[in-house]
């Protein structure tokens, strides 16, 4: 075997589980990551992809998605930075709480579904990967992605709904991964979002990175806001809190910013307007796929629950439009590809679509906002 695919609960995860009740996760996290990375040898992504494909040989092939070239005539003198945003669907929620009535339970088996997730990541080879609903970080994503050359960070929700599911694998949370050969970590912040001055169950990670090739600094953030109808004001407050944190970290937009997340909010919501109108001068990258460059995609998630069919645009990649250019974006799955039973499925591991963009730095870093 090329590597451990996380078939059983790892020794490291057992250590983490003991810290949850005491609220000491953050104290142990760095130690755990250092232990894990030090003990594992690098692996070739082709070998890992091959192992995934062996596991998936009885499943239908991956959907074909193409990148759409959005580059203007401005030439870039550096390799683009590929950013991937994805709510991968927490395993405990997929099997235990989300009630995807048209998805066979067999399609949700972790041993195969994790390979579908890894196959998607390996296919697009992101320089930076931002994930939500990660509940197999310590036994799957950290050990594997660290061996692929990524630096890994995880911040679990304080009261993850995964913990209410029998035989869960611990809390879900946000995770961020960046290639160490391309970037150096300058600073990192784990942010527990507040709303109406109260600490909430939603979190974010914000890291300032230095690009080895250009020497330029930029900030990358990942978040997952409160779900469900009726919580619009709550999401708005969380968004305001995140923006305030990011203004401080980026020194008021002096440092370019990319924010990835499942905002659980349609473009009609207040939190979307807050990000659109922020002094950080952010634009939503996937708007650029529309004919006029002003409209979000028709959906980023599409599922069927007992209450009915849910088709929404909730996932975004925001970026500093004064400092960064979007060279290309990965096209979304068509309705025909998704199929009548919607997501997740034997073909696709999550109820959310992955978003992938290639960014380049503006050639005039001193340009005014």
* pLDDT, one tens digit for every residue, the chain (369 residues): 334 444 333 333 332 233 233 333 444 454 444 445 556 789 999 999 999 999 999 999 989 999 999 987 666 788 999 999 999 999 999 998 778 989 999 999 999 999 999 999 999 999 999 999 999 999 999 999 999 999 999 999 999 999 999 999 999 999 999 999 999 999 999 999 999 899 999 999 999 999 999 999 999 999 999 999 999 999 999 999 999 999 999 999 999 999 999 999 999 999 999 999 999 999 999 999 999 999 999 999 999 998 899 999 999 999 999 999 999 999 999 999 999 999 999 999 999 999 999 999 997 655 544
Residue 254 lies in domain: 79-364
The pLDDT score that the predictor gives to residue 13 is 34
DSSP percent split of the chain into helix, strand, coil, nearest 5: 30, 30, 40
In a domain, 295, yes or no: yes
Which residue, among 102, 107, 10, has the nearest Cα to 304 in the 3D structure?
102
Decide: helix, strand or coil at residue 348.
Answer: coil
In a domain, 91, yes or no: yes
The pLDDT score that the predictor gives to residue 84 is 98
Per the structure block, which two tokens stand in for 52? Answer: 């995934």
How far, CA to CA in Å, does 96 sit from each of 131, 163, 242, 267, 355?
Answer: 20, 11, 30, 29, 26
In a domain, 18, yes or no: no
Residue pair 158/128 in contact (Cβ under 8 Å)? The answer is no
In a domain, 360, yes or no: yes
Q: Is 264 left (phi over 0), alpha (psi -120 to 50) or beta?
A: left
Per the structure block, which two tokens stand in for 216? Answer: 């330029």
In a domain, 146, yes or no: yes
> Domains in the chain: how many in total?
1
CATH of the domain at 168: 3.60.10.10
Q: What order of strands is seen across the sheet that includes strand 217-224?
A: 183-195, 198-211, 217-224, 257-262, 315-320, 282-284
- Specify the pTM: 0.89
What is the rounded distance in angstroms from the CA atom of residue 178 to the CA atom of residue 211? Answer: 11
Q: Which residues contact 96 (CB under 8 A, 6 or more apart)?
A: 165, 166, 168
CA torsion angle 204 158 301 88 (round to 10): 80
How far, CA to CA in Å, does 210 sit from each of 216, 219, 319?
Answer: 6, 9, 16
- Cβ burial, residue 288 (10 Å; 0-12/13-18/19+): middle
Per the structure block, which two tokens stand in for 71? Answer: 């580059």
Residue pair 84/128 in contact (Cβ under 8 Å)? The answer is yes
The pLDDT score that the predictor gives to residue 74 is 63
In a domain, 41, yes or no: no
In a domain, 311, yes or no: yes
What is the rounded distance in angstroms from the CA atom of residue 40 to the CA atom of residue 144? Answer: 9
Which residue, among 242, 248, 369, has the nearest Cα to 318 in the 3D structure?
242
In a domain, 17, yes or no: no
């Amino acid at each position: 075997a090329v590597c451990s695919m996380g078939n059983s609960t790892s020794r490291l995860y057992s250590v983490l589980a003991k810290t949850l009740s005491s609220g000491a996760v953050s104290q142990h996290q760095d130690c755990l990551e250092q232990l894990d990375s030090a003990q594992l040898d690098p692996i070739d992504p082709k070998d890992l992809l091959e192992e995934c494909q062996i596991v998936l040989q009885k499943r239908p092939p991956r959907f074909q998605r193409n990148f759409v070239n959005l580059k203007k005539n401005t030439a870039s003198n550096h390799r683009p930075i590929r950013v991937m945003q994805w709510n991968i669907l927490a395993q405990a929620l997929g099997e235990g709480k989300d009630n995807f009535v048209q998805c066979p339970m067999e399609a949700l088996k972790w041993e195969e579904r994790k390979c579908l997730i890894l196959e998607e990541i390996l296919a697009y080879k992101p320089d930076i990967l931002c994930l939500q609903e990660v509940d197999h970080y310590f036994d799957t994503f950290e050990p594997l992605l660290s061996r692929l050359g990524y630096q890994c960070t995880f911040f679990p929700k304080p009261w993850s709904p995964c913990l209410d599911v029998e035989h869960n694998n611990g809390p879900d949370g946000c995770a961020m991964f960046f290639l160490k050969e391309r970037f150096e970590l300058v600073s990192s912040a784990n942010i527990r979002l507040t709303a109406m001055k109260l600490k909430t169950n939603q979190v974010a990670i914000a890291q300032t990175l230095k690009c080895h090739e250009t020497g330029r600094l930029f900030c990358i953030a990942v978040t997952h806001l409160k779900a469900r109808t009726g919580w619009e004001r709550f999401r708005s407050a969380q968004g305001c809190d995140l923006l305030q944190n990011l203004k401080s970290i980026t020194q008021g937009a002096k440092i370019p910013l990319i924010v990835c997340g499942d905002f659980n909010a349609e473009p009609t919501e207040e939190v979307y307007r807050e990000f659109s109108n922020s002094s950080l001068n952010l634009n939503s990258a996937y708007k650029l796929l529309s004919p006029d460059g002003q409209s979000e995609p028709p959906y980023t998630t599409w599922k069927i629950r007992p209450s009915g069919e849910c088709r929404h645009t909730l996932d975004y990649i925001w970026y500093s439009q004064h400092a960064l250019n979007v060279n290309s974006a990965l096209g979304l799955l068509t309705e025909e590809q998704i199929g009548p039973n919607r997501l997740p499925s034997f073909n696709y591991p999550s109820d959310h679509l992955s978003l992938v963009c290639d960014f380049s730095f503006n050639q005039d870093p001193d340009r005014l906002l």
